């Protein structure tokens, strides 16, 4: 830059990323521009005033921060770090912007999907333009290349008031004060009690400590301790990997190298996902350790309808970027096999992450959480309108999309629903929860994260809010072993017993032979209902199809179901209740029609493998990623996985028999020759 020229620098308010010819991440500032004199001249003056600040040189960014903070103290305001620009290749910082602590405006959260309005604190940021920017020179030193001392607010007059700004309140950051806070917290004191204790002990010259400062110090200490405990957890996973070659785990690190998120799955769990991973329940509401990190299990159901764990994670927070990181590693762990459906609560950050990582998966909101919010948000309408509850229920339970949309217009106009009310918000998200929009997706009988909640109650016997991180995975493994033992018990009961039939009809007999014990009991209930309690009327008949309306005599016909029976060679039958499509078990309405039409067999295409013993011991077709299916350079990772899985099963089944183990060994020796 020529010394005689004045360059035009824009004030920093909004940053967008650009890439220059040297592949540097350049910050482009979009706002009004001011004229600044040449900033490439070093100044030797150290006085804390507004003169000769442009061009001032510092050895480190900390020195620059200390200088600007001292300047701010003298002039009556506080500061904070606003942006840091880094080289994309080396990740080294080359520019940093410090601003008045009243710069910018508070971000709007916008997450009201849960129905709760957060209490908003008074505004602190009011768009102040005061700032100082430093850039790195070729010799490694830093210089001020942009400075603006324009404030849009009154400055603090007295030192006691200036000290209350966060950047000047240094007492609570001293090692002595921090250590005392930690000791008091370990003794069971809350931040408010710690504040009172320290303020009673300090000298008159030292500023008061606030509860917020106590919380910040304790959070920092907890993060430090969490990092140390994480290494015990990682050591446990490393030890397991020595005996489980198929185990997968990954640790996400902070910029300072401290672990913040961890994800894991053992070989058996990964195998479970290839068989039962069409539907996944994901929930982060369960706290299982003293560091208050959410435990995030991915769960599903096995061939007995029991809850099973696919994998787990401990997360630092519940932000969108954290969920994206987690879901991406979930896909890597599971050989790029996408779940067909995923059930979660209505968390906005989680929903955004699902759209990014699982774009083709159907996202279903947990019905239990919706019911919970209904109790709160519908109460005013129920008290105001005597028939509102019945109308609302009829709308929610609409059988078709057309009925749902028609009923929405009725209740919206009749009950004067505001555009910003919870019900309107739920209507806008209808594809994620309304029955009429979810009839075509298999959910394995799950509509709530209650599956995950049952997992939570199961873990209560092993982990709790005081469980240390280094002990968490040990207890987690014990819980998983117990869960798998319950599955083995059901396998044995299914294979070691015969079903008790309610009739001599071959359809029920076939179901009893094919389904697992517990699933057959569900089918049997539908069969008994079909045999004893239903009737029908014929709606239409053609050479290709007959339509029936099926229901109970004592029930209004508007609640009866429409069954379509195809008359072509291959039997095809559907019902408007969509039980088979969503649960994988034929409903009583279809079974009634099959019996009336003298069908004496249960077609194989209506026996879902998910609910048979074959689901555990055979590998079927799965939604494998294209990179796995189209591997032209050799055997795909998924195929290798299936072979390894089958080999492990052979070893497991033969381990208690010396003769069988010897036979297996002889076969392997022949293959290796």
Predicted confidence (pLDDT) per residue in 472-524, tens digit? 888 888 888 888 989 989 989 998 899 999 999 999 999 999 999 999 999 99
337, two tokens: 């096999």
Mean pLDDT of 117-134: 79
Is the domain of 411 the same as that of 558?
no
Is the domain of 147 the same as that of 71?
yes
What is the band of 636 on the pLDDT scale with cuts at 50, 70, 90? low
- φ/ψ of residue 563, rounded to 5: -110, 125
Q: 650 or 228: which carries more pLDDT confidence?
A: 650
- CA atoms of 319 and 486, how far apart (whole Å): 35
Mention every residue, 6+ apart, whose C-beta is less than 8 A from residue 145: 9, 36, 39, 40, 54, 55, 133, 134, 135
Closest C-alpha among 507, 448, 489, 433 to residue 302: 489
Of 88-102, 114-128, 373-387, 404-418, where does mean pLDDT reach its minimum?
A: 114-128
The top-scoring range by mean pLDDT among 3-12, 14-23, 261-270 is: 261-270
Q: Calculate the average pLDDT of the chain.
A: 80
Closest C-alpha among 350, 362, 345 to residue 623: 362
Is the domain of 522 the same as that of 657?
no
Q: Which of 599, 617, 635 is the last residue of a domain?
A: 617
Contact 449, 368 (CB under 8 A): yes
Is the domain of 574 the same as that of 641?
no
Q: Which of 168, 202, 218 is the last residue of a domain?
A: 168
Is the domain of 413 the same as that of 553?
no
Residue 216: inside a domain: no
Q: Which of 588, 617, 646 is the last residue of a domain?
A: 617
Residue 411: inside a domain: yes
- CA atoms of 230 and 227, how far apart (whole Å): 5
Is the domain of 598 the same as that of 665?
no
Residue 522: inside a domain: yes
331, two tokens: 């896909």
pLDDT of residue 20: 33
- CA atoms of 643 and 635, how far apart (whole Å): 11
89, two tokens: 């290749």
pLDDT in tens, 644-661: 667 777 877 776 677 888
Residue 496: inside a domain: no
What is the band of 37 on the pLDDT scale with cuts at 50, 70, 90? very low
pLDDT in tens, 256-285: 677 889 999 999 999 999 999 999 999 887
Is the domain of 70 the same as that of 104?
yes
Is the domain of 549 the same as that of 591?
yes
Angle at 61 between CA 55 and CA 65, to 5 degrees: 85
Residue 314: inside a domain: no
Confidence (pTM): 0.64
Is the domain of 431 the same as that of 574?
no
Chain Cα centroid distance, residue 478: 24
Q: 322 or 14: which carries more pLDDT confidence?
A: 322
The top-scoring range by mean pLDDT among 26-35, 299-308, 628-637 is: 299-308
Residue 278: inside a domain: no
Q: Does 466 score more than 80 pLDDT?
A: no
Question: Integer distance in angstroms from the first to the last C-alpha of the chain?
Answer: 76
Is the domain of 547 the same as that of 651?
no
Which residue range forms the structural domain that includes residue 542?
506-617
Residue 246: inside a domain: no
Q: Does 21 score more than 50 pLDDT?
A: no
pLDDT in tens, 163-187: 667 666 554 445 666 677 777 776 6
Mean pLDDT of 97-123: 69
pLDDT of residue 90: 82
pLDDT of residue 183: 74
pLDDT of residue 38: 35
Is the domain of 21 the same as that of 160?
yes
Residue 235: inside a domain: no
- CA atoms of 430 and 424, how far apart (whole Å): 10
Is the domain of 555 the same as that of 656?
no
DSSP 3-state of 651: helix
pLDDT of residue 646: 74
Look at the chain and report how many structural domains it folds into.
4
- φ/ψ of residue 167, rounded to 5: -70, -20
pLDDT of residue 368: 85
Mention every residue, 6+ apart, whose C-beta is less than 8 A from residue 193: 184
Per-residue DSSP letter, 609: G
């Amino acid at each position: 830059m020529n010394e005689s020229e004045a360059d035009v620098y824009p004030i920093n308010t909004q940053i967008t990323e650009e890439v220059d010819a040297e592949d540097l991440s350049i910050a482009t500032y979009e706002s009004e521009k001011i004229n600044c004199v040449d900033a490439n001249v070093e100044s030797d003056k150290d006085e804390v005033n507004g003169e000769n600040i442009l061009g001032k040189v510092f050895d480190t960014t900390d020195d620059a921060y200390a200088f600007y903070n001292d300047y701010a103290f003298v002039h009556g305001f506080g500061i904070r770090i606003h942006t840091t620009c880094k080289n994309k290749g080396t990740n080294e910082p080359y520019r940093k912007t410090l601003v008045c602590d009243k710069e910018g405006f508070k971000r709007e959260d916008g997450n009201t999907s849960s129905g709760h309005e957060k209490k908003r604190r008074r505004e602190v940021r009011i768009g102040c333009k005061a700032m100082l920017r430093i850039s790195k020179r070729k010799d490694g030193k830093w210089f001020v290349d942009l400075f603006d001392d324009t404030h849009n607010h009154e400055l603090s007059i007295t030192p006691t008031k200036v000290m209350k700004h966060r950047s000047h309140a240094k007492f609570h950051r001293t090692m002595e004060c921090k250590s005392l806070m930690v000791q008091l917290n370990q003794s069971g004191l809350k931040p408010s009690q710690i504040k009172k204790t320290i303020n009673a002990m300090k000298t008159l010259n030292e500023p008061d400590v606030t509860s917020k400062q106590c919380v910040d110090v304790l959070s920092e200490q907890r993060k430090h301790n969490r990092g140390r405990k994480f290494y015990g957890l990682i050591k446990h996973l490393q030890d397991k990997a020595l005996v489980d070659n198929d185990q997968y785990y990954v640790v996400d690190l902070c910029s300072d190298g401290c672990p913040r998120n961890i994800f894991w799955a053992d070989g058996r769990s990964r195998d479970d996902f290839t068989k039962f991973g069409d539907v996944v329940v994901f929930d982060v509401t369960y706290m299982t350790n003293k560091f208050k990190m959410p435990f995030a299990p991915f769960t599903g159901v096995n061939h007995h309808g029991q809850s099973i764990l696919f994998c787990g994670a401990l997360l630092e927070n519940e932000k969108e970027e954290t969920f994206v990181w987690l879901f991406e590693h979930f896909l890597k762990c599971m050989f790029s096999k996408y779940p067909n459906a995923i059930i979660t609560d209505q968390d906005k950050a989680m929903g955004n992450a699902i759209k990014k990582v699982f774009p083709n998966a159907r996202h279903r909101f947990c019905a239990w959480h919706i019911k919970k919010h209904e109790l709160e948000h519908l109460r005013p309408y129920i008290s105001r309108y005597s028939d509102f509850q019945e109308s609302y229920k009829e709308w929610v339970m609409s059988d078709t999309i057309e009925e749902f949309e028609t009923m929405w217009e009725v209740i919206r106009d009749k009950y004067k629903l505001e555009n910003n009310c919870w019900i309107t918000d739920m209507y806008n998200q209808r594809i994620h929860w309304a029955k009429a929009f979810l009839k075509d997706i298999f959910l394995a009988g799950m509509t709530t994260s209650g599956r995950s909640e049952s997992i939570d109650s199961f873990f209560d016997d092993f982990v709790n809010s005081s469980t240390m991180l280094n002990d968490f995975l040990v207890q987690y493994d014990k819980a998983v072993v117990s869960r798998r033992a319950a599955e083995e018990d059901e396998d044995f009961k299914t294979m070691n017993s015969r079903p008790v039939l309610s009739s001599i009809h071959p359809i029920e007999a076939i179901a009893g032979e094919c389904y697992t014990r517990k699933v057959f009991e569900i089918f049997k209930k539908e069969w008994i209902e079909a045999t004893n309690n239903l009737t029908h009327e014929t709606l239409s008949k053609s050479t290709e199809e007959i339509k029936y309306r099926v229901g109970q005599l004592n029930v209004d016909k508007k609640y009866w179901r429409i069954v379509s029976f195809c008359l072509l060679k291959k039997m095809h039958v559907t019902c408007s209740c969509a039980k088979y499509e969503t649960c994988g078990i034929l409903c009583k309405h279809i079974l009634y029609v099959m019996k009336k039409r003298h069908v004496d067999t249960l077609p194989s295409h209506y026996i879902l493998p998910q609910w048979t013993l074959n689901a555990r011991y055979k590998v079927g077709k799965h939604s494998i990623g294209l990179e796995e299916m189209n591997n032209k350079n050799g055997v795909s990772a998924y195929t290798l996985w299936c072979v390894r899985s089958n080999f492990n099963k052979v070893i497991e089944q033969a381990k208690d028999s010396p003769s069988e183990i010897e036979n297996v060994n002889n076969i392997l020796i022949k293959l290796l020759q």
